[in-house]
Structure 1
Amino acid sequence: MAESDEEPQTRRQRREASGRRRTLKERSPLLSFVTECAIVIVLAIVISFVVKTFFLRAFFIPSESMEQTLQVDDRIVVNLLAPGVMDIDRGDVVVFEDTREWWGSGSEPETNAFQDAMTFVGLMPDTSSHYVVKRVVGMEGDHVECCDDQGRILVNGEPIDEPYLFPGDAPSAAEFDVTVPEDSVWLLGDHRSASADSRAHTEDPDMGAVPVDDIIGRSAAVIWPWQNWSGGGSDREPFEQVPDEPPAEDQTDAEDG
């Protein structure tokens, strides 16, 4: 009998507890609303942090070096799976960390503690000046030089017609002749006359190349301002005819050098 009496009492207690919860909700709609909002905000922050850490990350464009592909003050989203899960190739627009402080010494917007916190969790773009955006022109082992009789840059002996160049800019005003080191890429800005890029460091031991390990990801899209919405600016088509390796005579010259 004791067990049979306990079971109905347990059900009754559950019904009473459920009734109390409903009564509390009915009596405190504001508390219920605030609680639900707090849950949504916490979930949004957690999801944003996971996305920013492993998949996508937002950055701020501070200079004109990638015009007109990317404009000053554009906010871009970067695919963190490239390089790694996805490949980086010639023509890709990438963000990399300026670990050698070559190009990241410019000014950056002032931020407050709230903005820094939002950047940390991925709800605001990173405005740090030690992150730089450029276009990959040469992969490891590539022979990159300027220029042919028509003023075009050559990659492994193949002249490149670059539709993304800033209107009126030459492919390069400075001559160069480099072979990209292993596990590195060679990068240029689209606004060549206003870009400090790999050309500025051709006399260094690595000839201005950036280690692949310094690449944060590939530009995926412009997300702000809305009138500039577009893809990330990568364009591999001009490099489709580039051979995988430099011509034999270029490799011989490099060995002799």
Structure 2
Amino acid sequence: MSGESRQRIGQRLSGLAVALGLALFLGGFAWGAVAYRPYTVPTSSMTPTIDVGDRVLAQRVDGSEVRRGDVVVFRDKSWVTNANVVKRVVAVGGDTVSCCTDGKLTVNGKQIDEPYLPKGSLAEVQNFPKVTVPKGRLFLLGDERQGSLDSTAHLTDAARGTVSRNAVSARVDAVIWPMKGMLKRPSGFEALGALSRPGPLRTIELLIVAGAVLVLGGSAYGPLAKRMGGSRTRAARAETAAGVR
């Protein structure tokens, strides 16, 4: 195969790599824009999982998809705020929840291990009596139990501090600024039922990175091929000149 033929094939492959890379790169961003919403958390009620001012990515979900242990974004007018609120779901419709037994949150009679709580703290800093969560509703707490205005602050309401599933708009998957990464799975709730499946964020990241690599690699082929071709030409000329001598 001649050098020109190899060059033409290389250029075609380079173009294909760039085209595929752009498709993956832009497709990943488009998927992310449809599936996720960014939020800035204004309070420290979810410390240390999410600190005040952290930027999070939350997957758009229907309230029916929410499971125990999820960190969700919701809005409930009965909480005297018209802003989005970020809390952790600790009980769902039909559950009984209370605090505390041996310093631990209790759901359906089971003590829940909560490694995401601040180090050295106990769940019992926010004692509350047993609550039976109505169907279609959620009981939510902050990870920083001592300073969180969560379901326990609304126990005297008609809904006993619970929030409708329909009030949930998204589930937090990751803290992106500062880059803390994906939230750890709340394994303490596994004994009570299935946990939520991770969202597509890692797949989206892979598409974007792979697309960027293909675009950069394909774009670099032309200059590299030209430089290598120039090097071969100079070497050939040098050999020719040496033979003439």
Q: Residues of 2 paired with 1:83 and 1:136: CA distance?
A: 11
Aligned CA-pair RMSD? 2.4
Deviation at 1:191, TM superposition (A): 0.5
Higher relative contact order (CA 8 A, sep 6+): 2
Q: Residues of 2 paired with 1:136 and 1:209: CA distance?
A: 10
Q: Residues of 2 paired with 1:61 and 1:71: CA distance?
A: 7
Partner residue, 1:166: 118
**Corresponding residue to 2:150 among 197, 203, 228:** 197
Give 1:230's aligned amino acid. G
Residue 99 (structure 1) aligned with residue 57 (structure 2): no
Deviation at 1:182, TM superposition (A): 1.4
Q: Residues of 1 paired with 2:124 and 2:100: CA distance?
A: 8
Partner residue, 1:146: 99
Partner residue, 1:90: 68
Q: TM-score scaled to structure 1, two decimals? A: 0.59
Deviation at 1:208, TM superposition (A): 0.4
Q: TM-score scaled to structure 2, two decimals? A: 0.62
Give 1:152's aligned amino acid. K
Gap runs ≥5 in structure 1: 1-43, 105-128, 245-257
Map 1:61-72 onto structure 2 (within 5 A).
61-72=41-52
Give 2:192's aligned amino acid. V
Q: Residues of 1 paired with 2:160 and 2:141: CA distance?
A: 13
Partner residue, 2:61: 81
Partner residue, 1:136: 89
Give 2:76's aligned amino acid. D
Identity %: 38
Question: Which runs of at least 4 in structure 1 moved beyond 6 Å after TM superposition?
Answer: none
**Corresponding residue to 1:237 among 175, 183, 187:** 187
Q: Residues of 1 paired with 2:89 and 2:193: CA distance?
A: 16
Partner residue, 1:156: 108
Map 1:36-55 onto structure 2 (within 5 A).
52=33, 54-55=34-35
